[in-house]
Amino acid sequence: MKILYGTTNHGKLLIMEKAMAKVGLEMIGPTDLGLPLPAITEAGKTPLENSEIKAKAYYAAFHMPVFSCDSGLYFEELPDDEQPGLFVRRVNGKELTDDEMIEYYASLAARHGGKLTGRYWNAVCFVYDESHVFSSMDRALSTEPFLLVSEPHDKRVEGFPLDSLSKDLETGMYYYDLKTKDVSTSCIEDGYARFFAQCLQQVSSE
Q: What is the pLDDT of residues 68-113, one digit of tens each?
A: 999 999 999 999 989 999 999 999 889 999 999 999 999 999 999 9
For residue 148, give the 3-state DSSP assignment.
strand
What is the rounded distance in angstroms from the CA atom of residue 84 to the CA atom of residue 75?
8
Alpha carbon distance 67, 27 (integer Å):
10
In this prediction, residue 58 carries a pLDDT of 96
Q: In which band, very low, low, confident or very high, does the pLDDT at 182 lie, cut at 50, 70 and 90?
A: low
> DSSP strand E in the chain: where?
2-5, 26-28, 66-75, 90-91, 94-95, 115-129, 132-136, 146-149, 166-168
Look at residue 183 in the predicted model and tell me its pLDDT: 53
**pLDDT-based confidence at residue 187 (cuts at 50, 70, 90):** low
Query: SS3 for 11?
Result: helix
pLDDT-derived band at 185, boundaries 50, 70, 90: low
Confidence of residue 188 (pLDDT cuts 50, 70, 90): confident
Give per-residue pLDDT as tens, 141-167: 988 899 999 999 999 999 889 999 999
Q: Which of 203 and 187 is assigned the larger pLDDT?
A: 203
Instruction: Tell me what pLDDT residue 166 has.
Output: 96
Contact yes or no for 195/174 (Cβ under 8 A): no
* pLDDT tens string 2-48: 999 999 888 788 878 888 888 889 999 998 998 888 999 889 999 99
Question: What integer pLDDT is reported at residue 66 of this predicted model?
Answer: 97
State the burial class of residue 154 (Cβ atoms within 10 Å of its Cβ: 0-12, 13-18, 19+): exposed
pLDDT > 70? residue 181: no
Per-domain boundaries in the chain: 2-205
Q: Does domain 2-205 have CATH number 3.40.640.10?
A: no
> What pLDDT, on the 0 to 100 scale, is given for residue 22?
85
Burial 157-195 (b: 16+ CB within 10 A, else e): eeebbbbbbbbbeeeeebbbeeeebebbbbebbebbbbb
